[in-house]
Amino acid sequence: MKLYISATSPFARKVRVLLIEKQVPHEVEVVDLWSPNELQQINPIGKVPALVLDDGRAMAGSAFIADWVDGRYPRPRFIPADDDGRLEARRWESFADGVMDAVAASVYEMRFHDEASRSRSWLDRQRGKVDAGLAALERQLGTRRWLCGEAMSVADIAIACHLGFVRARAPQFFDAARLPGLARLSAGLDERDSFRATAPPPL
Ligand SMILES: N[C@@H](CCC(=O)N[C@@H](CS)C(=O)NCC(=O)O)C(=O)O
């Protein structure tokens, strides 16, 4: 199978971490999202990650891909097999991804509009989502080791990948002093080989 990524995408990193943790053999194709590339032929939405199976079928969307990978290669599991554990892991993953969607919407607004034409109300709206999402994740984590259950799940992987992007590219969105649990969680995961191998390159 072949995973299409960009060098910095935290959504793609989530899938890469899963594949590495599970020791699933795969190829990685790094795409420059802002230059002509082959991605559109693979994923009509033109986003990374996209995973192409050996039979040619492609899938898009990190949560869907992560779910498929975890089911197909269940050792170790990062989405619990029981219904409630699965619900918890996937719903906290969805909040983590929602935070990143709002960060990305802001980053794109800044990238594609000069200061005079940026929408302040759009940026404020996204900032509200980031702050509320991170606060909810922090409350959920508290002083526990993992966001849900007794083991690392896709939710922990997702928020650590997203915070890795934020720290590297948009640090104004994360105040470690106000979010000590998330800072601890993400620092711990950054030590793992799978995270070291996929860290976003410095600017
Ligand atoms: N919901 C998607 C989001 C993926 C996404 O936003 N990818 C970004 C990179 S981080 C992308 O490919 N952007 C290019 C574009 O929007 O054209 C997922 O979970 O995979």
48-67 pLDDT, tens per residue? 999 999 999 999 999 999 99
CA distance 134 to 130: 6
Q: Which amino acid is at 69?
A: V
Question: CB burial class (10 A; 0-12, 13-18, 19+) of residue 152?
Answer: buried
Q: How far is the CA of 101 from the centre of ligand 1 (A)?
A: 8
Give the distance from CA 139 to its chain's centroid: 20
Q: How far is the CA of 17 from the centre of ligand 1 (A)?
A: 17
CA distance 194 to 21: 6
Give span(s): CATH 3.40.30.10, the chain: 2-72
Q: Which residues of 107-139 are buried (b: 16+ CB within 10 A; e: fewer)?
A: bebeeeeeeeeeeeeeeeebeebbbebbeebbe
CA distance 41 to 20: 26
104 lines ligand 1 (CB under 6 A): yes
Give span(s): CATH 1.20.1050.10, the chain: 83-192
Range 83-192: architecture per CATH: Up-down Bundle (1.20)
pLDDT tens-digit profile of 63-85?
999 999 999 999 999 999 999 99
Please tell me the CATH code under which domain 2-72 is placed: 3.40.30.10
**Low-confidence residues of the chain, pLDDT below 50?**
none
pTM, rounded to two decimals: 0.98
